[in-house]
Structure 1
Amino acid sequence: LALQLMNEILELEREEDREILRILREVTGRLRPLGAELASSLAALVEFDTLWARALTATRWRAHLPELLTADEEEARGIAIVEGRHPLLLEHVEAGAGPDVVIPFSLELFPDERALVISGPNTGGKTVFLKAMGLLPLLAQSGILPPVGAGTRLPVIRDVFADIGDEQSIAESLSTFSAHLANARQILEGAGPGTLVLMDEMGTGTDPAEGAALARALLETLVARGARSLVTSHLGAMKRLDAPGSGIVNASLLFDPDRIEPTYRFRKGRPGRSYGLAIARRLGFPGDVLDRAETYVDSGELEVETLLASLEAKERTLAEELARTEEAREESERLREELRRRTKALADRERSAEERAREDARRYLMEAREEVEAAIRELRDADDSARAERERDARSRVEAAARQQEEAALQTRSRRRKGRRGPAAAPSGDTARRHGAGIRVGDRARILGSGAKGVVRDVEGRRVSVEVGSLRFELDQGEVEPLPPVETPAERASRGGGGQVRVPEVAASSEVILLGLRVEEVELALGRALDGAVVGHLPQLRIVHGKGTGAVRSRVHELLRQDRRVREFRGGVHGEGGAGVTVAVLQ
């Protein structure tokens, strides 16, 4: 029974396979006419997938599009790599399996620099640098943005020749040196313009003198053939090939001698020290053996090492000084920016205060003018019997308004002085005399804020009482200026006495020239002209403001509309000055 059941199961499985095959053939037959379209769609999907993968990789690498140079452009401009990084190191950092950060390198090789000899300690990153220099241009030529910064220029490479690592083989009877020679022979056969040669630990595996001689001859041959070559070496003879016109330049990967560990920072133009004995001492190698080894170091090599050590120490000191200088410069820039910001804020506050003071003065002037005009109208309307009483009442109102405006002006000036400066030092000499120091009762004085002149009636400490006409003002000594004892007839007439208010004489003119004034200066000049025209009973006032941008004219029209003494105004007609003139008709 079991055998029968197993046979039935096998038969059913064969029928299932036949049915699957029939369905596949049927479906394939239906799709066969669309084969070309399906193949094109698959190719497009593959292309989109690779583009998407390259875009994601470039974003993760923070890659920039390099400039690819033709052979002629490379000969004219050389190559440059900015902030280059090995892509596999970046992937290890991304996966958390490598170092915390990848140290980038920057390199520029000029057209006459065909070969680069990189030296430095073991585990310093020389081999990784060689591999990165080979990968970056190949990635770019493959359509993948390499991990480089902006401004990178890469050559278009025809062939890459590399001799990196130990390829000794027992099966092929190749020693380390034989393997290097075999690779070097192949490199010489194919090297030329448009090729990149990468050779690690050049000249090793045999007698150092012979290895150095062979490595030098090989490198000079590669330079002569126009190949771009990058080699690493610990041999002192290779570090001395950097001579003018040789086409060979030194470079190194730096090492921290204090911590005895590599920094992985690339430096062009200077060979590096191998630090072999120092690394051995750090790893716990017997000290007596190392001391004996140091006595065997060739004197010439020792001088070179000493010179390089001195250069490195000076470079570290210079780098520290530059860092401190940069910090000081940044601090200076910060302080300068802070000073600029505070200066601007102070200027804005002063401008606001000046605008508020100007607005206050404008308001005080308009209020005083209204009081005077009201008094004049009452005097004109009064008959002879009531005129004396009206005169006394008008005089009292004008005096009260004058005292109120003077007190408000003094308070405004006092607030502005307190906002601009702190407690002032005691004045001395002419300055002290000019600002009221030593003033006595009976002296003539001028009030600095208003220009009014009067006589000092009382002095108590720094408080000075100045009588101007029938008005008396209590002021600080810094707000008055002493005058000579002799007063002119005009001053004597203006000061007057007997409790009468003397109105300053105002020149009456039918024309006022505002040309050259700023907008904020227009109000005072126009107000004086209107005062004179009203006092002189002139029917109209011709205001010459010019055309310009129209700002002064707009301000004039605004003030005329606000002044109740002006019945109407119009622009000048032909013969009066046109648009540069406004004619105001007075009440």
Structure 2
Amino acid sequence: MDEKTLLKIEFDRVLQMLGERCGSSLGKGIAGELTPMSQKHEIELGLKETTEAKDILRLNPAFTLGGIRDIGRIVERAALGGILEPEQFLSIADTCGAARKTKLFLLNLKENYPIILDLAKKLGIFKSLETAVGETVADDGSIIDSASDKLYGIRRKIRTSQDRIKDKLDSLIRNPNTAKYLQDNLVTIRGDRYVIPVKQENRTQVPGIVHDQSASGATLFIEPMAVLELNNDLKRLRIEENDEITVILKNLSQLVASFEAEILFTLEILGQLDFIFAKGRLSHSMDGGAPKINEHGIIRLKRARHPLIPKDVVPIDVDLGSNIDSMIITGPNTGGKTVTLKTIGLFTAMALSGLHVPADDGSDLSLFHNIFADIGDEQSIEQSLSTFSSHLVNIVRILKEVDEHTLVLFDELGAGTDPTEGAALAMAILEYLRGRKVKVVATTHYSELKVYAYNNPNIVNASVEFNVETLRPTYRLLMGIPGKSNAFEIARSLGLNEEILAQAGSFLTQDQVQVADLISNLELNQKISQQEKEEAAALRKELQVMKHRLEAQKIDLQNKEGEILRRAQEESLKILKKTKDDMDLLYNEFKSSLVAESQKFENQKLLQSKDKIKKMGEGLEYVVPEKRFAGQAPQKVELGQIIEIPKLNQKGQVLSLPNQAGEIIVQVGIMKITVKLEDIRTTEETEQKTGTTKVGRIRMEKISAISSELDLRGLLVEEALEKVDKYLDDAYVAGLKDVRIIHGKGTGALRDAVTLHLKKHRQVKNARLGEYNEGGNGVTVVSLNV
């Protein structure tokens, strides 16, 4: 990419903004070397990683890669056998800790960010190295006493020696015979030796070695002979301490060296992550987005905002399709033509570098292999070149290097010379570039270029809008409309005589007047079109609101319909239940009536029989006693026992044992009824002997046919539970107390489902897994309530 062009479109200032958002020199180094890429997949990868970083920061605004240091040279020095300083170990530990925390944070994100997560997985974890540094070097860079046993012992001796020296010197200071010779009653240090301040005139009264004197010379700092040997011992201990610290640092440096490759690779990944998150922060600050990248020369920008202009920048819309070779931008000075030119070039460079651009969604930029720009004042005093000549030198250089994958930006093409010749030269340059399929955006004041663009379907006119009433540009870019210099309108607004303006108008050629009228008509049509566009947009927005309202009403109606259906269903179920209850009541009443009628009929027959017997037995001395049922009311009954119910003149089979109220359930024919013990009588009949009831026959059939175990292996859970229900009912009827359900071991899913189901079954008393000799965890032993 042409470096001069990148400077002219101020790409370097964007890189500066990017570097300011990096948290480390590693990221800043990558940001400073960023250049546009030439491969589409690389560009799209860069845009996607920017999008991922921006989204992570949006959800986690406090996230930072804090603590990263550029420790590459330090680690390499350790690998070469060098001994590192304590502060350097702290930088290594901080960086390793930052890598560990960053990896943990990114891998625990709930959302999926494939590019960044792939980088995070590559980060190394150096917990042992962090721990070793933490146990050796304190936060202030000093070596911890416990860094080694030997160092701990040496420092303990040093403290003891220091205490002995201080005690000795304190005794000298407190001694009245010595204190009178001192300048101050204190102990100080000079050159690692403990000394006391002695007045100059009393030098001979305190024997010892002079180590220093005050600036005035009035005080001498003397090491008394009494502590000379003690200071020597302390000096030897200091040397031992330094030697041991050297050994400790050497060992720790060797540990760092053993991780050289992993640390350097992790450092590279941290730099990339820092750079990527800086891109995300820049995008957020610019309210940027990822444009689509094409290879067809299409440039389509929606509400593009130059990133180096303050927030009140006026957004522009640019639409250059694949069938458009060039765009000619015209309009007054300071109207924003050059800004538009730079915006197109800068956005292209940013997108090709993997950076978001401050434009709305739906923006497209093309993959150009190079961008050339001729922008600004190119005058060169040193080379004795005029502005026109300097521009032309630059243009000649550009024309030699362009191809069909090039974007060229011209500011005031053909300016600086005779307007007629300059316009002709500009058109020739544009034709040359069109012939080589080069995409061109140029600004100009020449009316000839406006007509040239108007007469060529592959060239589009554009202009920056100017408000004649306020005499200020609006900075809006109007596609398809050439701009005017507005010299007459500005002069009229400033009060220039109309006679002069009319005279000036007469000097214009017919072609110039026609061009001016054409531009005026185009501007009028553009305003009408823009007004209609805005009205259509407002109508579309209104229709959209109405659509949303109708959709909401539709959903509300569907919800109400569902609620009505639900209520109707509930009412139907209530009616069905009430009808069933009423039918059950009628059935019970009918059944009771039948029993009563049957009893009444039996009683009538009995009375008739009694009357006959009475008549037949007239004259006899005794009366036939009323028929009674043999036996007394039983105190207890057994399941399956046949009993009599005198009140109903029926026999039945006991289905349940007495409850607390002394009631039992009896099967009488097809009905099950509840009676009290005092209302029944025992009979000599049993189910086994008579087999008179249907229940008895069913039970006998079950006993003879049912097995004491059920095999569920190979069945699905739903199918198995259905078989369990049927089997337990049959086992209960058959009177089996204990049964075995074989479900196998497998994954345990069937066993767990059977266990849970048995806990809720009405016939199950308890259930347990089988013992070793019963099949173990592959069998459940069930005890029934029989």
Q: Rg larger in 1 or in 2?
A: 2
